[in-house]
Structure 1
């Protein structure tokens, strides 16, 4: 196999080594993972998600924690006003095409939980310890109780969730259709977690995004609760990475105080 590196596309945040390469004349993305969990999640996703909304998996080498995928760059700049519609549509397609009524499952470490709430509760003590148990425990408990009440009314369908839907993880196929990149965080979970995350971190127009997603407004109570829980989890991450003075942190605080 004749392989040549064209460009280093690695991100310091993930610690993965990512190169645009040519292999026997074909341009591919070569991604070597720092953690085995990321490799396993991405391979699972690329073998699960319809190829209309993700790159094609060309080769995967588990021992080296390395994959090769088709190269699907954006063909034009995306305006902020258009991004909400694109992400909303992609999340809707991802969630609809991978919907299943099973347990939560993390392909990266094999962890399973009966419900998404069970999964979140396994991490919550760590969040609260970081962001301030005295300040947020009461809000956390009331939020968990509201979600539990909603669960008792209706069984929730689970699906593959991306957990990092944003502009940097959007590409375009050769026919011009948009698709998701970078599935190293993707697990089987509650689709509204993706929705809550995007609303907090990236949304330009909430109305446009929710319309493109075809959001069921009877689930607004669960979505609002997930926004609070996601804000707590993200604050935990930001504090631990010395980013408590950022706009992202302020967005999370606003979700919890408004």
Structure 2
């Protein structure tokens, strides 16, 4: 493989090493984090959403630099900012229902197929006997929504939080990191933020312009996301954290 670095796009605050490279004649984004390397996620996102939504990692001119939001930003402001950013991101839907994961190369016919492929692993980790019936209840609620009408898929961020939002010199807010981006159901992003990061659910959902006729689907996604996140936390020895308690709370209330 013939690789040549064109430009260093690493951000000083993320700890990631990011290069614009050519590999055998193709231009790619190469990212290294915790000794793991990946080529596809960021450039996949850049090809999927307009420049106005995703700051360009390719055209890294000085006037396109973005600073991370300050940690002392008001909680309500953060909920409104991220709600608005997710709404804007999710408006760019795709027509085909198939899901491609650029991180591992997995392709599934539908978003539900993609989720269900991970379920046995989640349940084995968090406790099949305790959570299996709840899993099937949640996944069947989502399936029923798909049966009623085909849901539009779009690029979902899967890591919307303070650390991944930047502010430009013009005062515009943008998502900075698409390392986990994938084509999927937008309510997965909404459920994730509600569990992990939200301060005011009302403020966030208003900024997102959430359609409350979908509340049943959202509640089901919250349970599914809680299971997937508990699996991650247990495997990373973080079962004593506040995030884990939030997941348990979602599944027990």
Q: Smaller-chain TM-score range?
A: 0.7 to 0.9
SS in 2 for 1:145: helix
Change (3 A) 1:147 1:172: same
SS in 2 for 1:207: helix
- Could you tell me which residue of structure 2 aligns to residue 105 of structure 1? 100
Structure 2 gaps of 5+ residues are none
More off after superposition, 222-231 vs 139-148: 139-148
Deviations 1:27-82 (A, max 9, x none): 999954568774301111123222222221227999xxxxxxx4444489521121
Change (3 A) 1:225 1:75: closer
Shift of 1:146: 1.5
More off after superposition, 108-117 vs 30-39: 30-39
Change (3 A) 1:3 1:133: closer
Question: What CA distance in whole angstroms lies between the structure 1 residues aligned with 2:195 and 2:126?
Answer: 17
- Could you tell me which residue of structure 1 aligns to residue 26 of structure 2? 26
Taking the TM superposition and a 5 Å limit, the aligned residue runs for 1:184-203 are: 184-203=179-198
Question: What CA distance in whole angstroms lies between the structure 2 residues aligned with 1:80 and 1:26?
Answer: 42
- 8 A Cα contact 1:42 1:184, kept in partner: yes
Task: Provide TM-score, normalisation by structure 2.
Answer: 0.83
- 8 A Cα contact 2:32 2:38, kept in partner: no
Task: Provide TM-score, normalisation by structure 1.
Answer: 0.81
Question: What CA distance in whole angstroms lies between the structure 2 residues aligned with 1:160 and 1:22?
Answer: 25
The alignment's C-alpha RMSD in Å is: 5.7
Shift of 1:14: 9.2
Size of the aligned set, in residue pairs, is 251
Question: What CA distance in whole angstroms lies between the structure 2 residues aligned with 1:152 and 1:192?
Answer: 16
- 8 A Cα contact 1:101 1:156, kept in partner: no
More off after superposition, 242-251 vs 47-56: 47-56
SS in 1 for 2:183: strand
SS in 1 for 2:155: strand
Deviations 1:171-216 (A, max 9, x none): 0123111000110100100000000000000001101101111111
- 8 A Cα contact 1:75 1:172, kept in partner: no
Question: What CA distance in whole angstroms lies between the structure 2 residues aligned with 1:86 and 1:132?
Answer: 36
Structure 1 gaps of 5+ residues are 63-69
Shift of 1:110: 2.9
Question: What CA distance in whole angstroms lies between the structure 2 residues aligned with 1:187 and 1:133?
Answer: 27
Shift of 1:16: 3.8
SS in 1 for 2:206: helix
Question: What CA distance in whole angstroms lies between the structure 2 residues aligned with 1:139 and 1:203?
Answer: 24
Question: What CA distance in whole angstroms lies between the structure 2 residues aligned with 1:249 and 1:89?
Answer: 27
